[in-house]
Amino acid sequence: MKTYKLTAFETNGEKILDESIQAEHDEAAKELAEKLLAERKLLESTHRFTSPSGKLLLFHS
């Protein structure tokens, strides 16, 4: 399992979400991140989701 990082921010730059997600590969991790953002109603908030190697998998500003 790999550890991915999901972070979301308020418009003033305050961090409102800082989660680690465990998944076997990038696509599975991306699905889990999108689900978590939807559950917390943060899909329209500024967010980023990165792989263990630093690859940007999701970004919204």
3-40 pLDDT, tens digit each = 999 999 999 999 999 999 999 999 999 999 999 999 99
Domain residue ranges of the chain, discontinuous segments joined by +? 2-60
Determine the pLDDT at residue 8.
Answer: 98
φ/ψ of residue 43, rounded to 5? -60, -30
- In angstroms, the CA 37 to CA 12 distance is 19
Residue 52 confidence (pLDDT):
97
pLDDT digits (tens, 9 = 90+) for 40-60: 999 999 999 999 999 999 999
Q: What is the pTM of this model?
A: 0.92
d(CA 33, CA 2): 14
